Amino acid sequence: MIKFEHVGLRYGVGPEILSDVNFTLDQGSFHFLSGPSGAGKTSLMSLMYLGRRPTRGIVSMFGQNVGQMGRHDLKKIRQRIGVVFQDFRLLNHMSAFDNIALPLRIMGESEKEIKANVDELMEWVGLGDHRHQLPNTMSGGQQQRIAIARAVITRPRLLLADEPTGNLDDEIGLRLMNLFDQLNRMGTTIVIASHNTLLMEKFSQHSRLILDKGQLRLIHPRKTIKQKLEGIF
């Protein structure tokens, strides 16, 4: 579903931020992306949400080489990807409702459909009473929930989240992780960039992508290794 082959990325004439990255993420898989600060997590995420083009290598999304795709087709691919940015990137002149509704409006959904879906999701993330509130007057946790709701409202095929539970209390954080899990069970591929080792431990059934000095390692979930061992012996 997502395939990176010998992908490298550098900014301008500087050194490679990512070098020779190779991995394949299957449809419906769930991964944590971790690594020290400056390892290139955000750069790797930006390649995955097609915010940048690699300086070398091949990136394939949903079975298609994005380097060979036309502008219109790239838009269609982007519409299948939900992104939760670390800095949320909410539009502060629009209400919480309109922020969450934005991806649906871009996709051309009817207002009736939009209202039904957004109202339901806002209730679910605990923002039902803040429909008309402007994001910059809300707490960090509330803003984060808007960002997450906006990313999942279209039920994307790939969800990329950069530290999605950073500003949330444990209960809400867990609830949103369960939402990601639920989406994952419905077939969405999830990649969560996180420093939160406790969270990764709690959801240790998911594989981990570890980035260090521009190189990527894939660690399979313990459960899978155990299953493999069981299969051998």
Partner 1 sequence: MFKIKKFERGLGIARKRRQYDLPLNKGNGGNFLKLLIALMTFLAMLGVASIFALSAMTDRWSSGLENKATIEIPAKDNSGTVFEQSHMDTLQDQVFNFLQNYPAVDTVEVMDKEEIKSLVAPWLGEGLSYDNIPLPGILTISFKDDVIFDTDALENKLKTFAPQIRLDTHQSWLADVLRFTGALNFAAVLITIVIGITTIVAVAGAVQSRMAIYHEELELLHLMGAEDSYISRQLQRYVLILSLQGAAIGTAIGGLIMFMVGLLAGEMDISLLPDFHLSIMQIFLLICLPLLVALLGMVTARQTVLRVLAQMP
CA 56 centroid distance within chain? 23
Task: Give residues 91-110 in contact with partner 1 (rule: CB under 8 A).
Answer: 91-95, 98, 102-103, 105-107
185, 189, 195, 168: which is closest to 48 by C-alpha?
A: 189
Can you say whether the dihedral through the CA atoms of 154, 155, 156, 159 is positive or negative? positive
- List 65, 67, 75, 182, residue binding partner 1 (CB under 8 A): 75
Q: Say whether residue 69 binds partner 1 (CB under 8 A).
A: no
Q: Interface with partner 1 includes 117 (CB under 8 A)?
A: no
Segment interacting with partner 1 (CB under 8 A) among 6-14, 16-24, 30-38, 77-85: 77-85
Out of 78, 115, 175, 208, the only residue in the binding site for partner 1 (CB under 8 A) is: 78
The dihedral over CA atoms of 157, 32, 170, 175, expressed in degrees to the nearest 10, equals 20
Q: 153 burial class (0-12, 13-18, 19+ CB within 10 angstroms)?
A: buried
Contact 121, 85 (CB under 8 A): no
Binders of partner 1 among residues 124 to 183 (CB under 8 A) are 132-134, 136-138
Residues 6+ apart with CB under 8 A from 147: 84, 85, 88, 89, 90, 164
Q: Does 55 bind partner 1 (CB under 8 A)?
A: no
Q: Indicate whether 79 belongs to the interface with partner 1 (CB under 8 A).
A: yes
Residues 202-231 that bind partner 1 (CB under 8 A): none
Binding site for partner 1 (CB under 8 A): 49-53, 71-72, 75-81, 83, 89, 91-95, 98, 102-103, 105-107, 132-134, 136-138
